[in-house]
Structure 1
Amino acid sequence: MMNIQLILFNVILATSATNCMHKNNSENNTPNISSAVQQQKIEQIRLTERTRGFSRDIVFTPSSKESNINEEIINTKISTAEWLAVSRLAQNIDLPKISELKSPTTGRYSDQAMISSMIITAGGKEYTSSEFDSGRPPKELEALYKAINGPVTTKTP
């Protein structure tokens, strides 16, 4: 009888020790997801702007920026720092809710402004924003819009 109790005690002790080691290992691995892995989550950022007779697409990837203005394509290499800056701005956006963001203006309804939208590819999935007037994105997209579009210059007569 004593041998059976001793065997059962050893089995219980070994089982609980194994569970504790497994739990500790999984707890230690979870928070070690680095910010570099999270930054790589954003794969591409696209800004599209269109109206009758004019179109502009700007596409950022980790290594390049492609500008397509009325089918005239210009490819430029970008630095890692530039990509990190742009992708960090995209990471600050709640991507699953990007299509619900409200535009502050409605000039695109009557050709007063180009129709714009952003498409952010992250983790193999595309997130498309609601449409907004060119130059007037929803406040949640404003910093990213300015970073993608670059400095706005106005011509004086």
Structure 2
Amino acid sequence: MRILSLLLLTLFIATGCCSQKKTNMAETQIEYSAMSRGYFKKIVLQNQTAFVTNGRDQQPIETKIDDAKWNKITAEFSKVNLDKLSTLKAPTDKRTYDGAAIGNLKITKDGKTYETPGFDNGFPPKEIEKLVNLLVDFAKE
């Protein structure tokens, strides 16, 4: 009976540890940019730091990201399928007639770059919407 109990306890502990895998963000850079003829915004996240550029000739403003917000970003990032990023479809088409700036999400992880096709700023594809909204929040602060 003791052996059976020990085996079950070991199984539960091992299962719990496996399900709590954290995404390694040390070698990851997330970049969101939005631009049109008269508008430019670029947000770069790396190592719990955000760099926000609000104009073409502006220097980026550096901001440290608190742990709570970083955990939200990491959680949303872990839901993104990087291999399918280049195939995402934009839900709207306002950028084609200057109705919206062109948004773009680029992720560099372990030396490999993944990038979305252009989409309307403010209307990202559903699959990356929460992550993009978290990034855009840095530009509002």
Q: Compute the TM-score of the two structures, normalised by the length of structure 2.
A: 0.76
| RMSD, aligned α-carbons | 2.5
Is there any run of 5+ residues in structure 1 with no aligned partner, and where? 1-27
Deviations along 1:23-62, one digit per CA (max 9) or x if unpaired, are xxxxx9xx969723x3336611110000002210001112
Is there any run of 5+ residues in structure 2 with no aligned partner, and where? 1-13
1:54 paired to 2:39: yes
Change (3 A) 1:62 1:83: farther
Q: Compute the TM-score of the two structures, normalised by the length of structure 1.
A: 0.69
Per the alignment, in what secondary structure is the counterpart of residue 39 of structure 1?
coil
Q: Measure, in 2, the Cα distance between the counterparts of 1:32 and 1:134.
A: 37
Per the alignment, in what secondary structure is the counterpart of residue 35 of structure 1?
coil
8 Å CA contact 1:50–1:116 kept in 2: the answer is yes
1:132 paired to 2:119: yes
**Residue of structure 2 equivalent to 1:69:** 54
More RCO (CA 8 Å, sep 6+): 2
Query: Alignment length, in residue pairs?
Result: 123
Deviations along 1:6-26, one digit per CA (max 9) or x if unpaired, are xxxxxxxxxxxxxxxxxxxxx
**Residue of structure 2 equivalent to 1:93:** 80
The structure where helix makes up a greater share of residues is 1
Q: Measure, in 2, the Cα distance between the counterparts of 1:34 and 1:134.
A: 33
Per the alignment, in what secondary structure is the counterpart of residue 105 of structure 1?
coil
Determine what percentage of the aligned residue pairs are the same residue: 30
Larger radius of gyration between Structure 1 and Structure 2: 1
Matches within 5 A, 1:138-153: 138-150=125-137
